[in-house]
Chain A
Amino acid sequence: MRELNLSKRIGPAMIHLFFWCFTIVSLVPFILIFMVSISSEDSIAQKGFSLFPNEISFGAYQFLFNDFTEIAKAYGVTIVATLVGTAVSLLITALFAYPISRAQLPFRRTISFYLFFTMLFGGGLAPWYITYVNMLGMKNTIFSMIIPNLLMGAFNVFLMRSFFASTIPESVIESATIDGAGELKIFFKIVVPLSLPIMATIGLFNTLAYWNDWYNCMLFIDNPDLYNIQYLMTKTLTNIQFLLAKSNSTAQVGELLAKMPRESVRMALAMIGVAPLLFAYPFFQKYYISGITSGAVKG
């Protein structure tokens, strides 16, 4: 009897131990860059990047906040792209998903296939890029950071379609039609209020995708005034790397290297870049998790 009890207790304890290890693995990298960002230069010189710096210094943050315009601009671009992108994206997704969730829609299969085919086949980067830049002239505009992500692939549309199909009762729509409501009115007054959960989920997916986007900025933006925060971070990371790699080729680079922001500044920038997401995460994680799981079950 006793033995059984013991093994019953050891099992869960092992599980928790395992999970605590896993939790540490998930979190340590974040803690590390935070600690580096508040390490003094001397400490980095002596101990390298360490979780336990010898000396704490907020010099890196002071340095960054001293001339905050670059970061503020980049944040501005990210925020505008995220807000506009998420809103427009939700609208287009919902407008597209709702009709194809209705069984009576003429051309329903054709339209669905038109959407679905984009999941099967793509033209590839080069033709896509040329379309955006040469046909639409979107280079160096903020639209180039909004429009490419509008539908996030066809997946979100299908997710929403199956939500509409399964949760909006046909009878509600029918009775509204009998009452003389037009399709647009039905959509905005009845369907949308009933679909807030899926809207929230997809809105969240979109927000994250826009917030984390650097790819479009890298492809389409030359003008430093339009860099978003992710790309600004990329630049800071790779630029120093490049200079380090080539530093013995010419004397010139050596001089530049001396002026580059030091390691702690780089990590401080990373912290500033990721902080909003980390702070917001506890508040939205619940919805995010339920969004993922509903996608898995329904999609």
Chain B
Amino acid sequence: MTKLVKLKRDVKKYKWLLLMTVPGIIYLFINNYIPMYGVILAFKNYNYVDGIWGSPWAGWDNFRFLFNTEDAYIITRNTLLYNLVFITLNLILSVTIALLINEIKDKVISRFYQSTFLLPHIISMVVVAYLVFSFLNAENGLVNRLLLKWFSMDGISWYGEPKYWPFILVIVNAWKSVGYWSIIYFASIIGIDKEYYEAATIDGASKWKQMTRITIPLIMPVIITLTLLAVSTILRSDFGLFYQVPMNTGALIPTTQTIDTFVYRAMLQSGDVGMSTAAGLYQSVCCFVLILVANTAVRRINKQSALF
């Protein structure tokens, strides 16, 4: 009972601190917890008149429907493959850039490079869509005009040909996010104790050796942690990248549809609330499991970087 008494006293003592969290708690309740309850829609045959509560139960029908079509396979495959390529390519490019920035001794120039590479990261996907469009527009786009001029090739109708989009989206994603990641890796590189390098220089180790023997091993925990965290969200995708950049073009859906765009399109374009929720729940549950697995892995490697 004394515990309870102490708790009561603590609550009274810290009531202002507790009250401070109230706006956040209310907000999270509305923004996150009520919708979590709404996942029951995945098991309902939603109709407009009866709403969430009144609509009849559908059991596992929405899931059966989702997995009986090719959709579930395609969106899972697309989301997974894109993310795998993104993670690998971003890692290689951004670590390389971080290592090279570290070689630049002039602070001003180093700073200039960093902020330039970061520029694509701060603009919205809408602007990115415009930029891509200016390259790939069939009639006037830079790419088609250059193809014509240099190789006398007929223009390609980029927005009508799904087969090119895996490459386009990988390039766009790298363009937009490599700057960001390289700055993070660079920050962990400059955190390395200078003494290691001094010792190595005295031993006559070349720059290359210093990179491969000192820098990379020392930032390895960061690399592994960030990569594992990225792997844990491998079933989530950047909605803007897959929706805005292909300009929501129907012809491109086979290669640009991911779970997130599917959830959106199922709700808006086919008005199938139940299936949209089912696909969203499928994603949430898989992510939940993956996060737990990834976190366990991170804990093994570097306890401090673990989420929990």
Binding site for B on A (CB under 8 A): 11-12, 15-16, 18-19, 22-23, 25-27, 29-30, 32-33, 36, 44, 47-51, 91-93, 95-96, 98-100, 102, 104-107, 111, 114-116, 118-131, 134-136, 147-148, 150-151, 157, 182-184, 187, 208, 211-215, 230-231, 233-234, 237-238, 241, 245, 263, 266-267, 270, 273-274, 277, 281-282, 285-286, 288-289, 292-293, 296-297
- CB contact between A267 and one of B119, B130, B263 (< 8 Å): that residue: B130
Query: Is A288 a contact partner of B118 (Cβ separation < 8 A)?
Result: yes
Nearest-neighbor residue (CB-CB) of A128 within chain B? B35
B144: CB under 8 A from chain A? Answer: yes
Query: Is A151 a contact partner of B31 (Cβ separation < 8 A)?
Result: yes
Query: Is B131 a contact partner of A212 (Cβ separation < 8 A)?
Result: no
How many inter-chain contacts with C-beta < 8 Å in the A-B complex? 276
Q: What distance in Å separates the Cβ of A11 from its nearest Cβ neighbour in chain B? A: 7
Nearest-neighbor residue (CB-CB) of B51 within chain A? A134
Contacting A at CB under 8 A, from B30-47, are 30-39, 41
Query: Is A99 a contact partner of B20 (Cβ separation < 8 A)?
Result: yes
Contact string against A for B residues 154-165, beta-carbon threshold 8 Å, 1 for contact and 0 otherwise: 000001000000
Number of chain B residues close to chain A: CB under 8 A? 95
Q: What distance in Å separates the Cβ of B234 from its nearest Cβ neighbour in chain A? A: 15
Q: A99-B21, A121-B284, A121-B288 are in contact. Are A297 and B133 (CB under 8 A)?
A: no
Write out the residue numbers on chain B whose beta carbons fall within 8 Å of the beta carbon of A50.
142, 145
Write out the residue numbers on chain B whose beta carbons fall within 8 Å of the beta carbon of A29.
131-132, 134-135
Write out the residue numbers on chain A whose beta carbons fall within 8 Å of the beta carbon of B222.
296
Contacting A at CB under 8 A, from B103-126, are 103-104, 111, 113-120, 122-126
Write out the residue numbers on chain B whose beta carbons fall within 8 Å of the beta carbon of A150.
27, 31
Q: What distance in Å separates the Cβ of A175 from its nearest Cβ neighbour in chain B? A: 17
Q: Which of B11, B97, B187, B287 gathers the greatest number of chain A CB atoms within 10 Å?
A: B187
Contacting A at CB under 8 A, from B74-122, are 97, 100-101, 103-104, 111, 113-120, 122
Query: Is A238 a contact partner of B247 (Cβ separation < 8 A)?
Result: yes
Q: A126-B263, A292-B180 are in contact. Are A107 and B127 (CB under 8 A)?
A: no
Query: Is A124 a contact partner of B24 (Cβ separation < 8 A)?
Result: no
Write out the residue numbers on chain A whose beta carbons fall within 8 Å of the beta carbon of B124.
211-214, 230
Query: Is B284 a contact partner of A124 (Cβ separation < 8 A)?
Result: yes
B167: CB under 8 A from chain A? Answer: no
Q: What distance in Å separates the Cβ of A230 from its nearest Cβ neighbour in chain B? A: 5
Write out the residue numbers on chain B whose beta carbons fall within 8 Å of the beta carbon of A183.
14, 16-17, 20
Write out the residue numbers on chain A whose beta carbons fall within 8 Å of the beta carbon of B10.
104, 106
Per the bound structure, the CA–CA distance linking A114 and B283 in Å amounts to 21
Known pairs A11-B103, A124-B276 / 18 extra A-B pairs, C-beta < 8 Å: A16-B104, A23-B116, A25-B175, A92-B23, A93-B24, A106-B14, A111-B25, A121-B36, A122-B280, A123-B34, A126-B280, A128-B38, A183-B20, A241-B133, A277-B123, A289-B115, A289-B183, A297-B191
- CB contact between B135 and one of A27, A32, A106, A111 (< 8 Å): that residue: A32
Q: Which of B7, B27, B279 gathers the greatest number of chain A CB atoms within 10 Å?
A: B27
B207: CB under 8 A from chain A? Answer: yes
Write out the residue numbers on chain A whose beta carbons fall within 8 Å of the beta carbon of B21.
95-96, 99-100, 111
Query: Is A32 a contact partner of B37 (Cβ separation < 8 A)?
Result: no
Q: A151-B24, A233-B126 are in contact. Are A124 and B239 (CB under 8 A)?
A: no
B205: CB under 8 A from chain A? Answer: no
Per the bound structure, the CA–CA distance linking A15 and B97 in Å amounts to 9
Q: What distance in Å separates the Cβ of A70 from its nearest Cβ neighbour in chain B? A: 16
Per the bound structure, the CA–CA distance linking A234 and B244 in Å amounts to 8
